Structure 1
Amino acid sequence: MNNDDLVNVALSRRQFGKGLFAATSLIAGSTFGLIGKAYASQPKTGGHLRVASYASSANDTMDPAKAVFANDYFRCFTFYNALTRPDVKVQAQPDLAESWEAFDGAKRWVFKIRKDVKFHNGKAFTAHDVVYSMNRHKVPETGSAAKAIADTFASVTATTDHEVEFVLTDGNADLPLVLATAHFVIVADGATEFSDGGNGTGPYKLKEFRPGVKTLGERNASYHRPGAYVDSIEVFGINDGIARTNALVSGQADIILKVEKNTLAVIEGSGTAEVFRTPSAGFPCVSMQMDQSPFDNNDLRLAMKYLIDRERLLKTSFHGYGVIANDHIFHPDSAYYNADIPQRTMDLDKAKFHLNKAGMVGQTIDMHVSEASVGGIDIGLTMQQAAAKAGLTLNLRREPADGFWSNIWAKRAFYAAEWNPRPVYDMILSLAFMPGAAWNETHIKDEKLAGLIAEARGETDQKRRKELYGAVQLISNESAGYGIPLFFDFVDATTTKVKGIDAIPLGYLGGLYFAESVWLDQ
């Protein structure tokens, strides 16, 4: 399939799904064209699968609460299970939970869980493991990235050994999808040590874990769901995009995550590999810490947003694989999208106007960029060129991919980064826009915004929810510390012998859920 074929399929599928998306509350879903692979043949068992990821560091973890990178999410879905899981339309489906029901305006939820599941060490899975897994996120010493979300769980109780009740501080109509995400996979009751594999229930058991080097899993012969077809799965990091492509076409890897667009022709012409593309609501961003000078000045933040050439970035850096954004996290196809906010474009006159108001004309600012974030270097270069014309010097500091997320992200005042999509908007809003949240990288502290987010979370009337989210978008567009130029498609690649992966638009290669379903046609 060539590039034109990919674009045509994406457009036709995307148009087909618009009506369905309008009835959902999802950040990604049926709207987005899902370009994966369809298979008529039955899965085969056996073989060793080698996965080359784009992010690997000494901070790699087996602890779901501390998962940050793609490698971490892959481990969560390979060695553990969650109560629910998303399907290709990003609707919650049963996993460790058999069924669920909401009460009291979605403030109380009851989940009935499976009785036939065992952890890797042979221990039976019960409701008490669910209670422990949820509550450990609330303990500050855990250091959970999902604490802001878990803090909305007023109580999580095992009403029987196979039934769990969630009582929330406020209603949350999206709870089943929230619980499908990587941080909320289930660990054994009392687990505190995860370097040995965390003793999960997932399709693979941990055989070897060397942070920053590789993770090796072997098939769980007692897995409770269909799947776990290959004998073993190995994931390792290759931070350089060209090197990842070379590993694929030379036969050193069966799957690579995050294909660099300038290597697409190599993959398509190899005869042994093919592109796997998934349109999504993931986005690159320009992050500005709002409590640090000079970005505590909103005129400077606005100037930065007007320096972003969105059309050029989409066309050249992303090869058209995405759609334009408007400095907030809501996709244009979303039922909640606020079309009344004028689309921001690059405007040197407005940029210079705000730079003058901020007293920044003639000044120099450091901007950190890296290959670790999709499009990060290109975003920096295009902004640097535009800034020079507006009277500002952007000093680009190119950071190594290895260590960017631990040393630069959320630690520097100004940098280019990215966010993977989440199944519901409230997750990113709760993680990145609420005061005190673990991933509030821009240090925003807007009580009005926080109130809107909290109210929208429990609102079941879709008209009112759209109004609330529309107000959230306006605040983000006008004053928040994010410049968000576009939403990108996930572009991965596999050898032609890799089968069984569905395009779930929540992350690279099937939302990183693929360990259960993948098989090798050897």
Structure 2
Amino acid sequence: MRGMPPEWNRRTFLLGSAVAAGALAVGCGGSGSAADMFTAAFQGSGAGEGIDPGVNTLFIDEARMKAVYDGLFEVDSAMTPIPRLAESGEPSTDGTRWRIALRDTQWHDGKKFTAHDVLYTLSRVLGPAPQRPFIAASSLDGVDLSGCRAVDDRTVEIALKEPSFEFLIALSVYGTKIVQDGATDFRRPVGTGPFVFESFDPGRQFIATRNERYWAGAPGIGELRIVSAEADARVNAVQSGEIDYADNLTPSAARTLEGRSGTTLVSTPGSGIYFFAMKTDRPPFDNPDVRRAMMRMADRSELLKVALEGQGEIANDVFGKGYQYYADLPQHDYDPDEVGRLLRRAGVRDLSFDLFTAPVAYGFVEAARLFADHAATCGVRVNVVLGSKDTYYTDALETGHLTMGQSGPLPIPNHFASRLLSHSPQNRTKWSDPEFDRLYARARGTRSPEGRTALYRTMHEIQHDRGGFIFFGTTNWNSACGDRFVELPAAVPNSHEWARFDQVRAR
């Protein structure tokens, strides 16, 4: 998704070790004809891939799970919850109970979907953790299982330990897709989604066939194949027609495909955000004036142009532009004079520190070295230290004073909950502010959207003034598709429409 979608170093852009470059893993099997079969390629991770919606977190995992399963709610491109297996969700007056009305639908094996499936999924996520922890456990930790009940087959009541008028967001995060009551074996998963599972070979391919009884309408293709492939292989295969859809292409790959006959490039803005993260619990970043100086030390325009290859927009140290609850605040600009003034006010001279990074995503190392140049112009010495790309995001939680990262879209309340509360599991800036924690608790317990918006704006203003994140650029999400099919998905990752292929149909 946890207080967020799955751990963002996995769900948002760190895709693990990959299969051999240049070789698409398309094998035999399945029953679709060539005209009725659709093949989509994603970055793979070999044996690390899976199809259990409770624990698997890679983008390619999510693409498979979108085919087989549904959630009660999912988020749209503005990160606002929309109903799926739920028809509606209504809170009690005090926000401590939610009554969820369920769709009249069935599982792939013909069993009726009921409230007991929802209760089982909640108990599975919140029960004893398996060897790999359940993704949504922290997002749903406010649920009081003992007070939850099935009102009838199509109505479930969910009790909360504390008031939350944002609970539908918690039901929308990754790891909350509904599994059948009693399900324990996910080698042959049974879902309610648009495609029925046929086969899965981790690191190679997944095959599913059309669910003719899907509640939202039968898909337009008879067979869906999702295959694992490296970036170069995805580009080559979509150009040759070997695949129909290639996900997550770099800016340079996108430029290669732009304008090519037989291939359509889709570039979705606002799909990722790059940042530097200052650890606010240790010098020199325990001083708010030093953090303010750092926000004026980054030449965002040059970082976007050089490190991010010019594809995207500059960011402003506030997460979630274009999403519900975003606060539009004055832009932080590159200003060496203001940097000097703020450092003098902080009583800091000859500032020097390490910037810990690794080549885990395009532009990371380039951005780090460019930032070091910007800092040098301001009289600050930044030493770029390269870590292992295999362990970087785990190491960066504790290592160093300044680190780098990249996030995909997620609801702004989840960003606050998972990264910026004193107890947040992914608190990369080590931010701990009692006032900030109180504001978040007040926002969750505020019934009116207008009241929550005002409180979240105050939280954004705190971060914009003296927070530990320097959000310097947003990026586009590039995908490419062949011309045999229409109605291909074009949406920001982590949203409902991303990687959904049930609307695809042949020309």
Cα deviation digits, residues 393-429 of structure 1 (max 9, x gap):
33142654xx36765564544432221112x321222
- Is 1:202 the counterpart of 2:193 in the alignment? yes
What is the TM-score normalised by the length of structure 2?
0.79
Establish whether residue 309 from structure 1 lines up as the match of residue 299 from structure 2. Answer: yes
1:235 pairs with 2:235: no
1:99 aligned partner? 88
Aligned to 2:17: none
Q: 1:83 aligns with which of 72, 89, 94?
A: 72
Deviation at 1:150, TM superposition (A): 0.6
**Cα shift at 1:127:** 1.0
Q: Which residue of 1 aligns with 2:125?
A: 137
Return the offset for 1:74. 1.8
Query: Which of 243, 254, 258 is residue 253 of structure 1 equivalent to?
Result: 243
> Between Structure 1 and Structure 2, how many residues are aligned?
466
The verdict on how the C-alpha distance between 1:145 and 1:92 changes in structure 2, with shifts beyond 3 A counting, is closer
TM superposition shift of 1:297: 5.2
Q: Which residue of 2 aligns with 1:455?
A: 442
What is the one-letter code of the residue matched to 1:392? R
Q: Deviation of residue 355 (structure 1)?
A: 6.2
- Is the Cα contact below 8 Å between 2:80 and 2:324 reproduced in 1? no
C-alpha distance in structure 2 between counterparts of 1:310 and 1:140, whole Å: 45
Q: Distance in 1 between matches of 2:225 and 2:349?
A: 52
Aligned with 2:369 (options 373, 381, 384): 381
Alignment of 1:15-54 (within 5 A): 47-54=36-43
The residue that corresponds to 1:345 in the other structure is: 333
Q: SS of the counterpart of 2:159?
A: strand
Paired residue for 1:395, among 384, 393, 400? 384
**Matching residue of 1:165:** 157
Partner of 2:409: 421
CA contact (8 A) 1:295 1:301 kept: yes
Contact 1:48 1:230 in 2 (8 A): yes
User: Structure 1 residue 131: deviation in Å?
Assistant: 1.1
User: Does the residue aligned with 2:135 lie in a helix, a strand or coil?
Assistant: coil
Question: Matches of 1:214 and 1:94 in 2, distance apart?
Answer: 32
Give the TM-score of the pair, scaled to structure 1. Answer: 0.77
State whether residues 338 and 473 of structure 1, in contact with CA within 8 Å, keep that contact through their aligned partners in structure 2: no
Q: Which moved more, 1:222-231 or 1:407-416?
A: 407-416
User: Contact 1:86 / 1:92 at 8 angstroms: preserved in 2?
Assistant: yes
Change (3 A) 1:345 1:334: farther
For 1:165, give the aligned amino acid.
E
What is the identity, as a one-letter code, of the residue corresponding to 2:317? D
Matched letter for residue 422 of structure 2:
P
Instruction: Give the match for residue 368 of structure 1.
Output: 357
1:148 aligns with 2:135: no
The gaps in structure 2 that reach 5 residues or longer are 1-32
Matched, 1:514 2:503: no
Q: Which residue of 2 aligns with 1:190?
A: 182
How far does residue 272 in structure 1 lie from its aligned partner after superposition? 2.0
Contact 1:289 1:441 in 2 (8 A): yes
**CA distance in 1: counterparts of 2:295 and 2:322, whole angstroms:** 18
Q: Which has the higher helix share?
A: 1
Q: In structure 1, what is the equivalent of residue 431 of structure 2? A: 444
Displacement of 1:162 in angstroms is 2.1
CA–CA distance in 2 between the matches of 1:332 and 1:114?
30
* Unaligned stretches of 5+ residues in structure 1: 1-43
| Residue identity in the other structure for 2:265 | V
CA distance in structure 2 between the aligned counterparts of 1:344 and 1:371, rounded to whole angstroms: 27
The alpha carbon displacement at 1:123 in A equals 4.2
Supply the distance in 2 between the matched residues of 1:498 and 1:325 (Cα, whole angstroms). 35
Distance in 2, matches of 1:47 and 1:408, equals 46
| 2:268 match: secondary structure | strand
Kindly report which structure 2 residues correspond to 1:491-502, keeping only aligned pairs within 5 A, or say none: 491-502=478-489
Give the whole-Å Cα distance in 2 for the aligned partners of 1:234 and 1:113: 29
Residue 444 and residue 122 in structure 1: after superposition, are their counterparts in 2 closer, same or farther (change >3 A)? Answer: farther
Residue pair 1:500, 1:519 contacting (<8 A) in 2 also:
yes
In structure 2, the partner of 1:17 is none
**RMSD, aligned CA:** 3.4
Equivalent residue number for residue 12 of structure 1: none
Distance 1:281 1:174 in 2: 23
Deviation at 1:366, TM superposition (A): 3.9
1 CA distance for matches of 2:316 and 2:490? 26
Tell me the distance in 2 between the aligned counterparts of 1:198 and 1:262. 37
Cα deviation code 1:134-165 (max 9, x no counterpart): 23333462523333321222343222222111
Q: Alignment partner of 1:426: what SS?
A: helix
Q: Deviations over 1:343-391 (max 9, x none)?
A: 212233444566675868364514213243x643342232122133333
CA contact (8 A) 1:66 1:183 kept: yes
Q: What is the CA deviation profile of residues 24-70 of structure 1, one whole-angstrom value per residue up to 9, with x for unaligned ones?
A: xxxxxxxxxxxxxxxxxxxx995443333246365434332334332
Contact kept, 8 Å, 2:211 with 2:218, in 1: the verdict is: no
Structure 2: distance between partners of 1:57 and 1:350: 49
Alignment of 1:480 with 2:480, yes or no, is: no
Distance 1:360 1:58 in 2: 50
Q: 2:13 is matched with which residue?
A: none
- Is this contact kept in 2: 1:51–1:255, CA < 8 A? yes
Aligned to 1:69: 58
Verify the 8 A CA contact 1:442 1:481 in the aligned structure 2: yes
Pairing 1:125–2:125 present: no
| CA positional deviation for 1:84 | 2.8
Deviation of 1:454 after TM superposition, in Å, equals 2.0
Q: Whole-Å Cα distance in 1 between the matches of residues 331 and 79 of structure 2?
A: 28
- The one of 454, 458, 461 equivalent to 1:471 is 458
SS at match of 2:214: coil
Tell me the amino acid that sits aligned with residue 279 of structure 1: P
- The whole-number CA distance in structure 2 between the counterparts of 1:321 and 1:159 is 50
Measured against aligned partners, the alpha-carbon deviations of 1:410-453 in whole angstroms (never above 9, x if no partner) come to 4544432221112x321222222223333333333322212211
Check 1:301–1:52 CA distance in 2 against 1; reply closer, same or farther (3 A cut): farther
Would the aligned equivalents of 1:105 and 1:171 in 2 still touch at CA under 8 Å?
Answer: yes
- Percent of aligned positions that are identical: 24
- The question of whether the paired residues in 2 share the 8 Å contact of 1:205 and 1:220 is answered with yes
Is contact 1:258-1:492 (8 Å) kept?
yes
Q: C-alpha distance in 2, partners of 1:227/1:354?
A: 60
SS in 2 for 1:488: strand
Distance 1:206 1:498 in 2: 22
**Cα 1:353/1:88, change in 2 over 3 Å:** closer
